[in-house]
Amino acid sequence: MTIPAHEYDPEKARSLMNEVSERSGQNLSACYQCRRCAAGCPVGEETGYVTPDRLIRMIALGDRRAALENELVWRCVSCYTCGTRCPNDIQTARITETLKKMAKEAHLEPLRPKIADFHSSFLESGVRWGRVNEMEFMGIYEMKGALKNMKRKDFKAIAEELKTQTDFGLTMLKHKRMHMGLLMSKGRKEIQKLQKKAKKQRGK
């Protein structure tokens, strides 16, 4: 089965390139496909070999669907190895971060819901209390996971997750590493106001 040829549309390609370049602050067209980033990417094997160089190539050729829906966008651990060693100074980790936001804006179902839920729960907790409360944000994160499993009626996964989390909690308690109190920062209102303001601006 030969993969169907990709129709290259210069307009589409340029608009995707401009959007990603601007929002990530990276000059994608500078890439000369040396594949150093692929060799250096620690999660290269986990993403089904969708490595940073191929991600840039998707964007350069205007393949928006492929660019937004691939494993690298979600599983990139933002370790910035690719960008630090890129001879043309392209920080692909910033590109995956941008593509995560673009995927969300395009209401695309994240390929790795757990990762998306983790980061949204973490940040929400941070903004809500001013400081991240581990017990609370992990709770919300697990709830979101459980809800998804519930919808899929995957009770075994829920049970398993519950078991690992409780075991983990117990060892943390045993080693007196479990923090019980509630961390807060009074000035969190300023952060929340900034967040609202930014959302309004983005909305325009």
Partner 1 sequence: MNQEKASQTAKSGSVLIVGGGIGGMQAGLDLANSGFMVHMVQKDSSIGGTMVMLDKTFPTGDCSMCMISPKMVEIGRHMNVNIHTLATVTSVEGVPGDFTVKILQKARYVDPNLCTGCGTCEEKCPKKVTSEYEQGLTVRKAIYSLFPQALPNTRVIDRDNCIYFQKGKCRACEKFCTAKAIKFDDTDKEFEIRVGAIILSPGLDRYNPRVRQELGFERWPNVVTSLQFERILSASGPYRGEVKRPGDGKHPKKVAWIQCVGSRDSHNANPWCSSVCCMYATKQAIIAKEHDGRIDPTIFYMEMRAFGKDFDKYVDRAKKEFGVTYRRAMVSAVREEPGTGNLLLRFAQENGVLKDELFDLVVLSIGFQPHTDAEAFAKIFGIEPNKYRFAKTTHFNPVDTSRPGVYVTGIYQGPKDIPETVMQGSAVAARAMALLGEARGTEIKVKELPPERDVKEEEPRIGLFVCHCGINIAQTVDVKKVAEVGASLPGVAHSESMLYACAQDSQDKIKKLVKEKNLNRVVVASCTPRTHEPLFQDTIRDAGLNKYLFELADIREQCSWCHMGQREVATKKAMDIVRMNVAKARLLQPVETGSVGVTPAALIIGGGIAGMVTALSLADQGYHAHVVEKENELGGLIKNLYRTLDGSNVQPYLKDTVSRVTAHPNIIIHLGTEVQKTDGFVGNFKTTLSNGEGFDHGAIVIATGGVEYQPTEYHFGENERVITQRELEKRLAMAGPRSRERYVMIQCVGSREEPHNYCSRICCQDAVKNAITIKEKAPDAQVIILYRDIRTYGLREDYYKKARDLGVLFMLYKEDKKPVVEKKGYGLSVKAFDYLLGKEIAMEADYVVLSTGLRPHPTSEKVGVMYKLTRNTDGYFLEAHVKLRPVDFPSEGIFIAGLAHAPKNLDETISQAQAAAGRAGVLLSHERLGVSGIISKHNRDLCMSCLTCFRLCPFGSPFIDTDGKVSHNEVKCVGCGICASVCPMKAFQVNNFRDDQIVAMIDALTESAS
Partner 2 sequence: MDIAYYPGCSLKSSSAIYDVQNQRVFEALGIHLKEIPDWNCCGATSAGKVDDFLAIAMPARNLGIAEATGLGEMIIPCSACYSRTLVAQCQLEKNPELKETINAELSKKISGKIKISSILEVLLSAVESGMVAQQAQKKLKGLKPACYYGCMQTRFPFKVPVPDNVENPQGMEKVLKAIGIQSLDWSYKTDCCGASSAVNDEDAADALMARIMKDAVARGANCFVVTCPMCQFNLDSQQNRFGPKHGIRERLPVFFITEILGLAMGMGVEELQIDRHLTDSTKLLKELKLI
Q: Which residues bind partner 1 (CB under 8 A)?
A: 2-8, 10, 13-14, 17, 27, 29-40, 44-45, 49-51, 53-54, 57-58, 60-61, 63, 66, 81, 85-89
- Min dist CB 62 to partner 1, Å, is 10
Q: Rounded distance, CA 20 to CA 38, Å?
A: 19
Q: Rounded distance, CA 82 to CA 129, Å?
A: 34
First to last CA, the chain: 46
What are the tokens at 15? 């608009």
- Min dist CB 89 to partner 1, Å, is 4
Compute the C-alpha angle 43/132/134, nearest 5°.
75
Among partner 1, partner 2, none, residue 14 binds (CB under 5-8 Å by kind): partner 1
Q: Rounded distance, CA 50 to CA 46, Å?
A: 9
* Residues near partner 2 (CB under 8 A): 23, 25, 42-43, 45-46, 75, 77-81, 83-84, 91, 93-94, 97, 100-101, 112, 114-115, 117-120, 122-123, 126-127, 130-134, 138, 141, 168, 171-172, 175-179, 183, 185-188, 190-191, 193-195, 197-198
